Amino acid sequence: MEQFAADAAAGRTGGAGGPGGVEVRITGVGRWKTVLVPPNAFVVHTRRGEDRPRHIGLGVSFRYRPTTDSFLVVPGAMQTILLNAFCICSELQGVLVQAYVQWIIQDFGTAYRKLDFSDPEDPMRLVNLQLREQAEAAIKDKVATMSVHEVLSDRQPIIEELTARLRGVAEGSRGGAEGAGGDDGAGLGLRIVTVQIKEAVVSSKTLWENLQKPFRSEQGRLAALAELAADGAVTESRMAEARKQETRRLGDERDLAELRATTAAHEFDRDSQEQARRDERTQEIARKSAEAAHATRLHTLTLERERHEQETVMARLRLEEEQELARMRLDAELAAVRARYAADHERQLMELERERIRSEIANARTASALQAELIGALPEIVEKLPTPSEYKAVTVGGGDGASLAGIVAQLTAVVSALRTGE
């Protein structure tokens, strides 16, 4: 406790030492420091010169003087101890008993005075070690009075003995005064929560097999008898089932034969009815087809007659139209011929009238006009005349030169002379 107090005074108190420590915070400076304890941890605070603790309890925080004070912090959680006890039973055979014990601190005012919680890494380590030794001793003492069969078949006596031993040591008598200052010398201030046996194993493999042989043999015998009974029951069930199946098969075959016969009769009747219906239907269709063909032929003949009548009418109409067209063409041609003849007659009359007018105009012209016209046409006449190979002189003049007939006679003579020269 003094070492823990020194560590606390130096500011090293806390859970940094290992997983079993308790996180304790110290705040403040100098003489004005405060220790903050978690709510799930027990603490006892003492001061130099005082015979009783100043603070004790679960999760108690307090003022702290590093020069005169000391405190101890212990986890308040439930602890579990695993046990592996190698025991010798009353038959001098080795047995391994595996168990676990769970305990908690019941009276910290008694526990911190009687138990060693000074390990900074795990304050519960030494307590767990002491309880483990006592529990293993209790298990060995109880197993030493029991046979192998008793150890393996009934674990309750071991649990009761172990629970009684540990509770007598840990809890002690409850008659005395309890509290921070009470100490009647009985119990450690702890409470045993539960004690359980996990497993009991025989160390000798041969002994373990021998212990199992009677049970295995009995179970083998029972299994063989059960197998024979099961085989007999299965055989009888199979035979009964075979009989049932054969009876069912025969009944099914008989029912199937009757069903086939009934089905065949129904099918024959149905086929006969269907064939009769088909024949009747075929005859009906043939009759309807004949009627339809006859009606078709009548309709065809009617159509042919109507078509022939229409063709006759159309031919008569076409003939009348052709005759009418021929008559109209003849009328048109006759009108055209008449018009042409009338036009020719009119043209001839106009020509005659034009010749008459010309003659009248020609007869009405004077000799001087004719000479002027002839003189105007001479250059054109000369251009059209061929080049003469020889020249002949023709004298135009005379007593009849003054008349038109004389002039014409002279010109004729000139033309004849030119042609002769060619």
Q: Encoding tokens for residue 319?
A: 């003939």
Q: Encoding tokens for residue 212?
A: 């199992």
pLDDT score recorded for residue 204: 65
Sketch the domain layout of the chain as residue ranges.
Answer: 2-75, 79-203, 368-421
Q: What is the DSSP secondary-structure string of 12-53?
A: --SGGG-TTS---EEEEETTEEEEE--TTEEEEEEETT-SS-
In angstroms, what CA-CA distances link 314 with 318, 323, 327? 6, 14, 19
As a whole number of angstroms, the distance between CA 348 and CA 342 comes to 10
Which has more confidence, 318 or 413? Answer: 318
pLDDT score recorded for residue 341: 85
pLDDT score recorded for residue 2: 38
What percent of the chain is modeled with pLDDT above 70? Answer: 80
Which of 12-26, 133-147, 225-239, 321-335 has the weakest average pLDDT? 12-26
Reference 106, options 140, 76, 134; nearest CA is: 76
The model's confidence at residue 171, banded by pLDDT at 50, 70 and 90, is confident
As a whole number of angstroms, the distance between CA 206 and CA 283 comes to 103
Q: On the CB side of 296, how many CA atoms lie within 13 Å of its CA?
A: 6
As a whole number of angstroms, the distance between CA 368 and CA 372 comes to 6
pLDDT score recorded for residue 401: 47
SS3 191: strand
pLDDT score recorded for residue 16: 34
Q: Encoding tokens for residue 73?
A: 């912090």
Q: Is the pLDDT of residue 344 over 80?
A: yes
Q: Are 93 and 202 in contact (CB under 8 A)?
A: yes
The model's confidence at residue 183, banded by pLDDT at 50, 70 and 90, is very low
Partnered with residue 310 across adjacent β-strands are none
pLDDT score recorded for residue 209: 64
- What is the pLDDT averaged over residues 259-284? 87
Q: How many other CB atoms sit within 10 Å of the CB of residue 143?
A: 24
Q: Encoding tokens for residue 391?
A: 């020249």
The angle formed by the CA atoms of residues 30, 32 and 36, to the nearest 5 degrees, is 110
pTM of the entire structure? 0.43
pLDDT score recorded for residue 395: 59
Q: Is 71 exposed, middle or buried (0-12, 13-18, 19+ CB in 10 A)?
A: buried
Pick the CATH number of 79-203 from 3.40.50.2300, 3.30.479.30, 2.60.40.10, 3.30.460.20: 3.30.479.30
Q: Is the pLDDT of residue 151 over 60?
A: yes
As a whole number of angstroms, the distance between CA 139 and CA 133 comes to 10
pLDDT score recorded for residue 422: 53
pLDDT score recorded for residue 314: 86
Alpha carbon dihedral 223, 224, 227, 231, in 10-degree steps, equals -170
Q: How many other CB atoms sit within 10 Å of the CB of residue 417?
A: 13
pLDDT score recorded for residue 374: 75
Q: What is the pLDDT of residues 72-97, one digit of tens each?
A: 888 888 888 888 888 888 778 788 88
Q: What is the pLDDT of residues 278-319, one digit of tens each?
A: 888 888 888 888 888 888 888 888 888 888 888 888 888 888
Q: What is the pLDDT of residues 355-407, one digit of tens each?
A: 888 778 777 767 777 777 777 777 777 777 777 666 666 555 555 445 666 66
What percent of the chain is modeled with pLDDT above 90? Answer: 0
